[in-house]
Structure 1
C-alpha cells in the first residue's frame, strides 16, 4: 500500500519532469497524508502543440477516492489505494481505470514494517526513495464527485502492485511507478484501454528504490518538516514481515 508520501521538488522540476502546461507555486511537502489535497497530472482533450499527444494539466485532488455513484461520501470507506490487479473490474474503480488515469508526482513514499505482535517490537517506518534521487510518478486514478447539492470535488487514489524483492522485506505491496517514457501511453485514455496498459502496472526492478529507516515522527500528520526523513540507526530487515490477517484494515492502519 501507500499511506504517506512526499513531494519536495520545485515547481520547475515538476514542469520539466512531467511536461505539464503550467503549475502554481507550492511548498515542499514532506508528509502527505490521506484526505489532503495532492498534486496530480491528467491528459486533456487538447493536443500538445506540434504533437498528436494529449496536453497534460496539473491540478489538485483530494487523496481519497469517491466513486461517482456513492450517495454519502461520509459513510464511504477511505479509498487511498487501488489494487492494480483488480481495478479494471472493481465497481469503485472500473470507470476511472478506463477514462481517468492520472500521474501522481512524488519524491518517494513511506512504509511501515510491522513485526508480529507477539514480538513486542514496534512498527518501523521507512522513507523509500529512488536510489538516483529526483522525481518519480505513481500511477493513479481520479474521479470528480458531484454532490446532490451540486458541489464538485476531484478525488484520487494511488495504484499499488505486489512488492519487489527489496520492498517485500518491509511490506508486501508498493505503489505502481510509471516511467517517463510511458507517461503518454498511461494518460491516453482515448485510445489505450486498461488491458493495453496492464504491462505498466508491474513492480519496478529491485534496484530502483532505497529504503531508509526513519523515526516515528512521520506517524503524526502535524509533523510536516524535513526532520521526518532524518535517518535513524537500525539493522536492515532480513525476513519479510507478517502478512495482514483478514481482520486487519490496511488502508486505515496508519491512523
Structure 2
C-alpha cells in the first residue's frame, strides 16, 4: 500500500521538473518518508491556479474533521472507491496532487521470517509522480493543517509477487489532466503502471525503522 517512500531530491530540482511557481519549501532530503511526516507535494494553487510545491503532512485530514486527535488520517485511498468515499470524494473532485518520489518501499510477507522490504523505482531512472489528494483543515483557533494521501490501485505483474496493491503513477503527459489544468477523464488515470515502467530489488530491514534515514536504505541486498 506504499507506506514509505524516498525523495532526497532538492526542492529546486523538483520545482524545475514539475514547473512550479512561488517560494520553495525548506526541507531536508529523506530516504524514508513515513506517515505523519511533512513531505513535498505538487498541487494546483486553489486561488491563482499555478502549480506550487509545498510541504504537506502525510495522512489526510478532511476539512470537516471535528477532533484532530481522533481523526483517522489515512495515508492512502483506494482507486476503486476514491470518487465515492465520503472521506475522499471531495478532494478527488477538487484537490488532486502529485507526490514526487525517487522510489517507494513495499514489504513481502514471508513464511518463516519478518517481511522482506523491497524498493521500487522507475526503470528509466526518472522521478516518480504518485497520484495523491490534498486537504486543508482549520482548527477553531485558526490553526491550519494541510495534508495528503496517496491513491493506490491493483498491483501490476511486476508488483504482484510482493504486494497486491501499488500507488497510481501519473506520467508527465497526464500531469495537467490530473492537476485539473485541462478537462478530461481523470478516472482513466487510476490504473496500474505498464509492466515495463518499474524495477524492483530487495533491501535491508533497516528501512523498517523511520529513524533510519540515509542513502544506504536504497542499496540492494548482496546476492546470496
Question: Structures share a fold, TM > 0.5?
Answer: yes
In 1, Cα distance between equivalents of 2:140 and 2:104: 35
Residues 1:184 and 1:102: Cα distance change in structure 2 (over 3 Å):
same
Residues 1:209 and 1:87: Cα distance change in structure 2 (over 3 Å):
same
Which of these residues, 56, 63, 86, is aligned with residue 61 of structure 1? 56
Matched, 1:212 2:213: no
Q: Secondary structure at the match of 2:131?
A: strand
Which string of whole-angstrom CA distances, capped at 9 and with x for unpartnered residues, describes residues 125-151 of structure 1? 001111111211111001101112221
In 1, Cα distance between equivalents of 2:45 and 2:73: 27
Cα drift, residue 68 of structure 1:
1.5
- Higher-Rg structure is 1
TM-score by length of 2: 0.93
Q: Secondary structure at the match of 2:65?
A: coil
TM-score by length of 1: 0.82
Residues 1:134 and 1:7: Cα distance change in structure 2 (over 3 Å):
same
Partner of 1:20: 20
In 2, Cα distance between equivalents of 1:186 and 1:127: 25
Matched, 1:92 2:87: yes
Q: Residue 60 of structure 2 contacts residue 135 of structure 2 at CA under 8 Å; is this kept in 1?
A: yes
Residues 1:65 and 1:45: Cα distance change in structure 2 (over 3 Å):
closer
5+ residue gaps, structure 2, are none
1:187-226 alignment runs, 5 A limit: 187-188=179-180, 192=183, 196-226=185-215
1:90-239 alignment runs, 5 A limit: 90-115=85-110, 119-188=111-180, 192=183, 196-233=185-222
Which string of whole-angstrom CA distances, capped at 9 and with x for unpartnered residues, describes residues 182-208 of structure 1? 11111117x647xx2011111111121
Q: Residue 213 of structure 1 contacts residue 234 of structure 1 at CA under 8 Å; is this kept in 2?
A: no
5+ residue gaps, structure 1, are 48-53, 236-255
Cα drift, residue 216 of structure 1:
0.6
Number of residues of Structure 1 aligned to a counterpart in Structure 2: 223
In 1, Cα distance between equivalents of 2:223 and 2:75: 29
Q: Secondary structure at the match of 1:121?
A: coil
Cα-Cα RMSD: 1.8
